[in-house]
Amino acid sequence: MLTIEKLSLIILFSFIMNILLLSVLGLSIYNPGRSFYILSKLRKIFDFRKISYLNNYPPYYWHKINQFIKLPQSESDVIMLGDSITDEGEWIELLSNINVKNRGISGDTTERIYYRLETILSTEPKQIFLMVGINDLINAHKSVAQTIDSYENILHEFQDKAPNTKIFVQSVLPVNNQVYLYWQDNNNILELNLGLRELAIKYNYEYIDLFSHLADSKKQLDTRYTKDGLHLNGEAYLVWKSVIEKYFMDWNNINIPGD
């Protein structure tokens, strides 16, 4: 589990690596060949790209993880896992279920969720409803193929670390590019969702199509459901709830003693 001590070590490690990198850069001014040799050796030991990603994670991300670590966890938890679209949902009230835990973090990408999975999977929760990918396309500027590859890393961890957890792969939602800003081509989102559906089949997980329930006739996020073309209002969350609530009932019924 990711503890305060581990977070402190990560920060210390990041500081040390920054000093090392600055030293290598300084050396490169006087001895480029020697600096290249040192850098190549360090690359074999450390993943610089991962360190860079961690440095770019905002304080909100770390504050939320720290809170998740301290909150009680159990095998009966139902986890809503995702980015701001999940984060903004009042899931306990929407689903009338005190076992539902909101583990969305605004701005999350597939990589950021993958990094914090230990805080989610340590007790093998009962169910996980996952929605992530839009920030990979919009903020991380990844291709659909890169996003799918990164998404699969999450599903592999689910299979490896939580084989008894019921996993639901939720489609990425449409955006509306006429409401506020140009967010993303919805054709890319449809292509991504096709890939997520195929991943769900590959890993024997349930795929839930939410895109079609919130899209208008032009495959844009319906203006009834948004103010900025990306995030959702209360009416949209009620639609979302109406789509997924049957999976709660089905799973609960399976576990009723004597059935």
Domain of 204 in residue numbering reads as 74-254
21 and 87 co-located in one domain: no
28 and 85 part of one domain: no
* Euclidean distance between CA atoms 169 and 165, whole angstroms: 13
pTM of the predicted model as reported, rounded to 2 decimal places: 0.77
Residue 28 scores a pLDDT above 50 = no
Average pLDDT over residues 191-205: 98
Same domain, 8 and 99: no
* 49 and 90 part of one domain: no
Please check whether residue 68 lies inside any domain of the structure: no
Q: Is the pLDDT of residue 38 over 80?
A: no
User: Other C-beta atoms within 10 Å of 28: how many?
Assistant: 15
Is residue 137 domain-resident? yes
**What is the rounded CA–CA span in Å between residue 10 and residue 18?**
12
Counted domains in the chain: 2
Tell me: the pLDDT tens digits for 118-144?
999 989 999 999 999 999 999 999 999
Other C-beta atoms lying within 10 Å of the C-beta of residue 21? 15
Decide if pLDDT at 90 tops 90.
Answer: yes
229 within a domain of the structure (yes/no): yes
Angle of CA points 151, 157, 161, to nearest 5° = 160
- Are 126 and 225 members of one domain? yes
- The rounded distance, in Å, linking the Cα atoms of 30 and 18 is 19
Supply the pLDDT for residue 170: 98
Exposure of 240 in the CB half-sphere (CA atoms within 13 A): 26
